Structure 1
């Protein structure tokens, strides 16, 4: 029998319970001395009334959503058809993707090597008869041939005599080549405007390179995905396949200035990475014409640099100074924006004083020495380092400096850095020519005497051949070089298209091996560069986007940390339609926004470690990285965790990475052999794709013919239907675009230039994606039959909200939609499926997945279009979406998103009907009164319903800024700053100030002087054309006659310069200038709901300096009901989510200086020295003075004598 408790024991037990309860209440934030209504335990009548409004509105929306989408029915189908939820292995996935892309890259490199191999062999054996060729040879000219029988309008009257040499073209639009009219039977030749195609070496190159057509066609027939193929010669000619018309005629403003030798694919292949210091003579003699030539020379030099090069410019007179102060004592990367900064700075330099070249050399050598040591050039690899001197003369002897840095043997602190020196002597009346020539010749460089502007282009390009000499002399390896991205010059945007086509190129050097022959001139020469373009979108298609899933993505990073591929890489501004000047040097840290509390342009440790690993060509993974995940054109944001996986792309400077959401990105829906399964069940898979109200993702590859030309389809859906029918045939076989091949392996050195060509009807498919698509079509098919109302109650509910359309989008890229009341066909009418084709990439799809992940409840996301977006229909519609996550084996995966659209006006009416009901006997005014304002806002604080309909789609903080600020303070919303480092900001131009400045006497004198100079240049050019018959110098150099002058039969009139002011505007023209934009950084302060903080809100929310308000979550939605007491005073605060320009303490580009020191990887296989280089090179001339053997011995004698006298 249990012992009875005593009275004392009972009292102690009660006391213990009371104390425990007290402590618990204290711990959770309650005080027994606080009134009950302030503890959040009991709601006030007002709060209950607002809660009833929210509850009723939410319940009706939930019922509407269920009836419209039939989400439970679709979810059940996944279980019925045995959908398997499987884990993704990020490591295996990145291996699979890099193998796909690697095979494609291997084929491109093989094609280019075949061109290079053929070029070297043909050039070596080619026998050339100039007399016969000049009188009889004909070729396809990209500029001067007749196209489709149209006469060659580009030919001047003097050139018509030579029109016979240009063969007629027959061009046809080709689907593969973006519907450009091309000739796939022939290549054609582009000759730069300043090169005469009848010059000996130019004509010879055109003739022997014609045999490359066989290789071009073989490459294309074995890999029909090949883009443009070409061979760029050192003579300046470009043979490209297929043949095409270079540019449209009749456009005098669109002058042809193209020269393949100045393209990045050519120069990077020939020279690899370079460290260059340019010394600009800024002494008093460098005025007038010489000053113009000097600036033009430097601009031309900078045009030859690429992202792999580093440079700086010093201007020197009595002293030496950095042109850009914040770049002091540093080489900066040759990005487009850095080059533009230097070009602008050069324009501001004013010559003065006398020149001290020795001081300039000392500073240049010191700077290059710093990088020579940092990059361990003497230990691990050689470096391409050079000094370029632009001057009108030299005074004094600089031998001591060369002995110290470039000719030393390590004794007495001397070095042998092997820095090349290139000298550009400007002007016709020059002195001490031999001294400046020897500076170049004794330092493995080249001397150029630039007398006119016409000579600048050719003289600048000569340094490329010099730096390429060791590469040519080694005569064994032909290292492929991959460029950073560039825009396709053939791209023509369609209507409403604000994008552009990004390409990368791979080039392989070809060598002129004639120097090895006994009877040759003993000059080692780069024959040219063979290359092909690769559209960046072709890389994206091979990254299995369906398997990465919603909010997952792939990206490609270069050895410099720059982006080739990334969903947030925006080369073209959507707002302005302008190309971002720095689009091909956007850094990894500028597109990946980690969730860190840092100021703009500051990068945290995590992002730099990730960047470093990829730049250094490593494989690895970084998991659970917190990021600012922005979407909907940077207007919505969420804090998310992501997993990064990355690996190098073999034989390229690139690394490929993938991102998977850490939570829901680890699983996916796996299906079986759907084609065979349906065959066995006697089901025609095409029956799942009837009607026209469905789309597939336009950017994904399901099945395609290798040869697009001749296999055109009006839509991707028509193409899919075609292949679905073929799959039912007995001879159907699955094939991949790039099948695995032994010759594609990294360790295979044999070149396969005879690869089997593909049949005209050869095709390829993504088998896994097609099976997934068929499964999704089967799951959703029955739910999208003919619509029938279940009962009158359902009809009344749907009609009451004006719901007209329902849809579903799946992870396989399938989108279906259905009109509830049938569809009225209107010609050229745009409907839901025309606006929303991208399935998992649509904003409503992303939002639904995020909503499911964040709230873990059955809810719908409701959105209206942003106020800045165009209307999709005649009236404003609300889009609702809901994510379906089937479960299997204790795991769930995002399978699809269902949704519907309904009338915003009807939703608004229903809301105000509900909120006009008094639920508490007048304890609170209804939403129809003037004392309160009621809003429905979404989880990013954009207004869905407001009493003023014009506020719909705008940010809530624009109208109730103090309330929005209070919600952030109470942690109901979180404010997240998102930085855009690819923005373009408008520069305000004050028209009145320009007009007034024209009246100033000094201003008028400046304009008049510039006008006079322009006229003198024009008259000079006219005389020169009349005298020389050509727009450039007729070279008398016996060493190199590659660039002969155009004969008198080819007169070309110079274009008279327009009368312009110094700010680039036509004088006295009153036309309003077009908007001017410049690159800038912007900050957008975005907001995201914190749903867990909304619990226990039971009264007016009162925050100092804010109107009191009620806040209620509308159940089963992403919406909030906000009721604001407008009778109370407001601060009138206005918040905005619009991007605002960031003003830095430092000027551009100094605020980006830290990025110049980010980690980069130098390119390998760079040949910078060869022991026999001096035997096979020339280093320039001085007014036809050849550096013969006597001059060489004289230079050596002077050098030894100088050293002897100093000892």
Structure 2
């Protein structure tokens, strides 16, 4: 056994160096304190980088006048380096030098310039897009300067409220197997957390007989899209109604549940099973929703901030005013957002009235292609108080593995967290309206944190750090707040702007 294990050789090696070895007592608390101070210093540099991007973006918007006829070419990450049959670069696809970079796991990147990604359903030459992309060109020197100041920085980006995504360093974006780019920065957790405060949402969907066929398909897609805009700090439930009120998950009757990944996926499966039948009676469903939200609000449960009902229907013909008068007026603590499904406009005024008289927003969704843009409008409404107050709250996401960003290189930076901040319009003529321009962010791979905690010094704590940050709802701020005897200067609370 000793012949093959090499134990005798190992013993000899230890004996050879034994005279030079000595045991040194280490103060564990001091070790952890030093690690935590170095961690805070590193995280503070990330926050400062994001703050510089916010300042540059807002100043650029302030100095930019919208031009509906703007002609401007930019580096489209899908089209860069693409040529036509005549060997000429395609429009928005000029030459864009890409080189492997060790800091980015040898991915092909351009560290001197950013480029722009858009989802397939967003027109890349729309005047709103062109003006936004042109304005955000001002971020390029800031991206580069940030990276030079702090070489541990990884991806830096600006996600626009109009749908474009400016990423540094620039990369070549690859579509999925169907040639589609479904990635929309506005659906990402970092964007949603930075753009809005925690929220309690009850989705109320009409499943009466008139919703059969395409209307039900659109309604289901609308629900799923709303669910995709929720995160760990939000609470949700879904009520379906026809002749009766149905909780899509009976186990969640009368309550709100955390909108974590597991619950969102569970709701999506149940929504897919909904069938249209019977006659729609919206009053009972709305009444039930108000009761749940009031109980949670009075009990100090849920998100403790924004509350909203999302009504999805093809029409409303009842006398519903009395319900709002009794349960929501005059304070209007619950916003009501309405989504009219289909092309029929007979009941449009009724559905619009519900939203406008309850601090919400009305939209009509005629096709599946309309869903994404129309659903996102509610986030803009919820962000208005924060924008009007000009509160730049810093958010840190829970740890996650972002396979959506780089589908072909899902393991590129492994487990990460994101620091993000909202970007507002500072123009006097729009400030009172609360215009959210977008969100800037930067990713922080957890491996960068672990470098500060050498395994040979903090092995048990090192291993538990990753496990800790994988817990649902846990962010770096949670970790910083729980470290013993350390005074942290990074905010650890959730902010409410209702």
**2: CA distance between counterparts of 1:587 and 1:305?**
13
Q: CA deviation at 1:178?
A: 1.3
Distance verdict in 2 for CA 1:526–1:502, change over 3 Å: same
Counterpart in the other structure of 1:86: 25
> Is residue 453 of structure 2 the alignment partner of residue 543 of structure 1?
yes
Q: Which residue of 2 aligns with 1:483?
A: 397
The question of whether the paired residues in 2 share the 8 Å contact of 1:138 and 1:167 is answered with no
Would you say the 8 A contact 1:269–1:529 is kept in 2?
A: yes
Counterpart in the other structure of 1:144:
79
Q: Name 2:426's counterpart in structure 1.
A: 513
The equivalent of 2:415 in structure 1 is 502
Quick check: 1:278–1:312 contact (8 Å CA) kept in 2? yes
Instruction: Give 3-state SS (helix, strand or coil) of 1:276's partner.
Output: strand
* 1:209 matched to 2:141: no
- Cα deviations across residues 968-1026 of structure 1 (Å, max 9, x unaligned)? xxxxxxxxxxxxxxxxxxxxxxxxxxxxxxxxxxxxxxxxxxxxxxxxxxxxxxxxxxx
Greater displacement, 192-201 / 446-455: 192-201
**What is the alpha-carbon distance in structure 2 between the residues aligned to residue 333 and residue 446 of structure 1?**
24
The answer to whether structure 1 residue 399 and structure 2 residue 321 are counterparts is yes
Name the structure where helix makes up a greater proportion of residues: 2
The SS at the match of 1:193 is: coil
8 Å CA contact 1:318–1:356 kept in 2: the answer is yes
| Residue 343 of structure 1 pairs with residue 248 of structure 2 | no
| Cα distance in 2, alignment partners of residues 152 and 92 from structure 1 | 62
Superposed, 1:835-854 pairs within 5 Å as none
Say which SS state the counterpart of residue 314 (structure 1) adopts: strand
SS at match of 2:39: helix
| Count of aligned positions | 495
Contact 1:144 1:152 in 2 (8 A): no
Give the deviation of 1:245 after TM superposition: 0.6
Residue of structure 1 in register with 2:9 after alignment: 68
Q: Aligned pair 1:387/2:309, yes or no? A: yes
Cα displacement (A) at 1:197: 2.2
Compared CA separation, residues 177 and 616, structure 1 to 2 (3 A): closer
Matched, 1:330 2:330: no
More relative contact order in 1 or in 2 (CA 8 Å, sep 6+)? 2
Give the Å deviation of 1:440. 0.9
Matched residue SS, 1:235: coil
Deviations along 1:648-696, whole A, 9 cap, x unmatched? 965265xxxxxxxxxxxxxxxxxxxxxxxxxxxxxxxxxxxxxxxxxxx
Residue of 35, 41, 44 corresponding to 1:103: 41
List per-residue Cα deviations over 1:449-505 (Å, max 9, x = no partner).
111111111100111100000011002x301111123324337669xxx99712211
What CA deviation, in whole Å up to 9, does each residue of 1:531-567 have, x standing for no partner?
1111121122222322124x553544xxxxxxxx229
Decide whether aligned partners of structure 1 residues 165 and 235 sit closer, same or farther in structure 2, where only a CA change above 3 A counts: same
In the alignment, is the contact (CA less than 8 A) between 1:614 and 1:648 conserved in 2?
no
Q: 2:462 aligns with which of 545, 553, 556?
A: 553
CA contact (8 A) 2:198 2:304 kept: no
CA distance in 2, matches of 1:499, 1:237: 22
Question: Does the 8 Å CA contact 2:74/2:92 hold for their aligned counterparts?
Answer: yes
- Whether the aligned pair in 2 keeps the contact of 1:177 and 1:227 (CA below 8 Å) is yes
Contact kept? 1:427, 1:450, Cα under 8 Å = yes
Distance in 2 (alpha carbons) for counterparts of 1:374 and 1:459: 33
1:420 equivalent in alignment to 2:335: yes
Partner residue, 2:439:
529
2:244 aligned residue: 319
- C-alpha distance in 2, partners of 1:647/1:152? 59
Displacement of 1:399: 2.3
Query: In structure 1, which of residues 563, 566, 571 is the aligned counterpart of residue 467 of structure 2?
Result: 566
TM-superposed CA distance for 1:340, in Å, is 1.6
**C-alpha contact 1:98 1:649 (8 A) present in aligned 2:** no
What are the superposed Cα offsets for residues 292-343 of structure 1, whole Å, 9 maximum, x if unpaired? Answer: 1111111111111112211010111122121112122221122222112111
Gaps of 5+ in 1: 1-59, 409-415, 557-564, 570-583, 589-610, 621-645, 654-1162, 1169-1207
Contact 1:307–1:335 (Cα < 8 Å) also in 2? yes
User: Please, which runs of 5 or more residues in structure 2 have no aligned partner?
Assistant: none
Distance 1:493 1:122 in 2: 33
Equivalent runs, 1:610-1009 vs 2, <5 Å: 617-620=481-484, 650-651=489-490, 653=492
CA 1:231–1:614: 2 relative to 1, 3 Å: closer
How far the C-alpha of 1:243 sits from its partner, in A, is 1.2
Mapped to 1, the partners of 2:438 and 2:222 lie a distance apart of 23
Counterparts of 1:183-332 in structure 2 under 5 Å? Answer: 183-247=110-174, 252-253=177-178, 255-332=180-257
TM superposition shift of 1:66? 6.0
Indicate which of 388, 392, 395 corresponds to 1:473. 388
Aligned to 2:362: 447
* 1:570-626 CA-partner distances (Å, limit 9, x unpaired): xxxxxxxxxxxxxx65589xxxxxxxxxxxxxxxxxxxxxx9x96894444xxxxxx
**What per-residue deviation string (whole Å, max 9, x for no partner) do you get for residues 408-430 of structure 1?**
4xxxxxxx461111110111124
Change in 2 beyond 3 A, CA 1:376/1:315: closer
Aligned equivalent of 1:842: none
Q: Could you tell me which residue of structure 1 aligns to residue 60 of structure 2? A: 122
Deviations 1:267-304 (A, max 9, x none): 11101211100001111211111111111111111111
Deviations 1:502-549 (A, max 9, x none): 2211110010122x23xx696321011011111121122222322124
- Do the aligned residues in 1 keep the contact of 2:235 with 2:259 (CA within 8 Å)? yes
Give yes or no for contact 1:282–1:315 (8 Å, CA) kept in 2. Answer: yes
Contact kept, 8 Å, 2:365 with 2:371, in 1: the verdict is yes
Q: Is the 8 A contact 2:197 2:305 kept in 1?
A: no
Q: C-alpha deviations, 1:129-169, integer Å up to 9, x for none?
A: 443x32xx2211111122xxx5169xxx9xx9993444321
User: 2: CA distance between counterparts of 1:312 and 1:342?
Assistant: 8
CA 1:458–1:545 in 2, change beyond 3 Å: closer, same or farther?
A: same
SS of residue paired to 2:148: helix
Deviation at residue 76 of structure 1 after TM alignment: 7.0
Q: Which residue number corresponds to residue 1166 of structure 1?
A: 496
Confirm whether residue 464 of structure 1 aligns to residue 396 of structure 2.
no
Q: Distance in 1 between matches of 2:346 and 2:270?
A: 29
The 1:221–1:260 alpha-carbon spacing in structure 2 relative to 1, beyond 3 Å, is same
CA distance in 2, matches of 1:81, 1:162: 66
Report the Cα distance in structure 2 between the residues aligned to 1:167 and 1:63, rounded to whole angstroms. Answer: 61
SS in 2 for 1:566: helix
How many Å separate the matches in 1 of 2:27 and 2:53?
41
SS in 2 for 1:532: strand
SS in 2 for 1:245: coil
Aligned to 1:178: 105
Give the structure-2-normalised TM-score: 0.91
In the alignment, the residues of structure 1 paired with residue 148 and residue 157 of structure 2 have an alpha-carbon distance, to the nearest angstrom, of 16
Secondary structure of 1:104's counterpart equals helix
RMSD of Structure 2 on Structure 1 (CA): 3.1
Cα distance in 1, alignment partners of residues 154 and 38 from structure 2: 18
Q: In the aligned structure 2, how far is the partner of 1:210 from the partner of 1:183?
A: 15
Cα distance in 1 for residues equivalent to 2:75 and 2:412 = 32
Scaled by the length of structure 1, the TM-score of the pair is 0.39
**CA spacing shift, 1:70–1:508, aligned 2, 3 Å:** same
Q: Is the 8 A contact 2:309 2:337 kept in 1?
A: yes
Paired with 1:145 and 1:61, the residues of 2 have a C-alpha distance of: 61
Distance 1:615 1:351, change over 3 A: farther
